[in-house]
Amino acid sequence: MSEIHDDDNDIPMLSGSALEALKEFYAERDAKEKELENLKAKKNTGDILSMDTFTENWNDSQFWYSQETADIFARELLAKCDNKSRIAVISAPSAFVQLKNVIASTSMSADKIPEIYLFEFDERFSIFPEFIFYDYKFPLKLPRE
């Protein structure tokens, strides 16, 4: 008759496949964090940005658009703007990133480039100087500037 030790039953164990999946998850997370750090280090270089650097977080109540939709938004917003215009993108980081991309990739003259701002809850986007923390639960809580 084998003896059962209660101590052995209290230790949770992952299966080999679950452990491999967990390792893969952490490796992907670490790679994304490294990409964000690299992006932060070279911000405002005019490089084309990709939303692939960021992973969508459903807890942050964001609107993530397809590349095509974000491009349509960006071009429509910029069509009638000049350097006195201001564009506030609220909780739609993909549209904001595409605005930056369209500005960087076209030969817009300085008198046509508006001020753009991203009002966003997700602090990962604070790598952009245009980031303004925004919580939709407190829509009137905005910086005074």
Report the alpha-carbon distance of residue 25 to residue 67 in Å, rounded: 25
- In the three-class reduction of DSSP (H, G, I as helix; E, B as strand; rest coil), residue 36 is classed as helix
pLDDT at 78 over 90: yes
pLDDT at 57 over 70: no
| Residue closest to 86 by CA, chosen among 48, 49, 113 | 113
DSSP 48: P
pLDDT digits (tens, 9 = 90+) for 82-96: 999 999 999 999 999
Per-residue pLDDT at 108 = 84
Task: Determine contact, residues 83/112, Cβ cutoff 8 Å.
Answer: yes
Nearest 10 degrees: Cα torsion 52, 58, 62, 64:
40
Domains of the chain, residue spans: 43-133
pLDDT digits (tens, 9 = 90+) for 103-130: 989 888 888 899 999 999 988 899 899 9
Report the alpha-carbon distance of residue 48 to residue 54 in Å, rounded: 14
